[in-house]
């Protein structure tokens, strides 16, 4: 999709501020992506050099007119302290499908912040783009993330990736209708 402005991703919720990742967020990004505990249900943690390299590439792309690869810093509104990163990854332009995800620091988990951030991001994506389906990919071994995804309204896709062990991934999605209608009415 062309013409997606960076300001599309400036969001506020009751407790959070979401904004595009910027150069000053390197410590946040590297801290999350190199932490074995944070990454244990996602992928092997990155080395410090890999994290820095990935971060720098991401920051350069943040203002490209695309929905793919948008990373947002998640800040607590009250303190303006970063608590995580959320954003978009894979964008299937033909299918009007976009993947979202979130990583939170340990101290931010279990407080409903992931739900709040993802709901705000998803509402904005549906409101400002022609995307028809938003999906998540997560480990079959992480019940907390499964509960979060159920609470948001995700359901299993036909293209779920079965398998065994930690890297067995589930792919769930929500469709613009009726999810978006339900979220804007309630």
Residues above pLDDT 90, as percent of the chain: 70
| Distance, CA of 54 to CA of 51 (rounded, Å) | 5
- Domains of the chain, earliest start first: 6-185 (3.40.630.30)
Per-residue pLDDT reduced to its tens digit, 85-103: 999 988 888 789 999 999 9
Question: What confidence tier does 169 reach under pLDDT thresholds 50, 70, 90?
Answer: confident
Q: How many CB atoms lie within 10 A of CB 165?
A: 8
Beta strands in the chain (DSSP E): 11-12, 16-20, 71-76, 82-92, 97-104, 133-139, 155-156, 169-175
If one compares 1 and 91, the residue with the highest pLDDT of the two is 91
Per-residue pLDDT reduced to its tens digit, 130-160: 999 999 999 988 999 999 999 999 999 866 5
If one compares 59 and 3, the residue with the highest pLDDT of the two is 59
Is the predicted pLDDT of residue 185 greater than 70, yes or no? no
Mean pLDDT of 71-96: 93
pTM reported for the whole predicted model: 0.88
């Amino acid at each position: 999709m062309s013409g997606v402005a960076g300001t599309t991703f400036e969001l506020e919720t009751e407790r959070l501020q979401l904004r595009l990742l910027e150069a000053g967020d390197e410590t946040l990004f590297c801290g999350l992506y190199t932490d074995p505990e944070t990454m244990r249900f996602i992928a092997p943690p990155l080395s410090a050099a890999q994290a820095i390299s990935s971060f720098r590439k991401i920051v350069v792309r943040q203002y490209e007119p695309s929905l793919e690869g948008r990373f947002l810093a998640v800040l607590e509104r009250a303190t303006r302290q970063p608590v995580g990163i959320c954003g978009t990854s894979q964008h299937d332009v033909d299918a009007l499908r976009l993947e979202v995800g979130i990583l939170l620091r340990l101290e931010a988990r279990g407080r409903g912040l992931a739900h709040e951030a993802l709901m705000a991001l998803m509402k904005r994506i549906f409101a400002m783009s022609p995307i028809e389906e938003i999906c998540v990919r997560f480990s079959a071994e992480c019940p907390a993330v499964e509960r979060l995804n159920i609470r948001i309204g995700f359901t299993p896709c036909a293209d779920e990736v079965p398998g065994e062990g930690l890297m067995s991934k589930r792919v769930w999605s929500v469709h613009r209708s009726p999810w978006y209608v339900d979220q804007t009415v309630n």
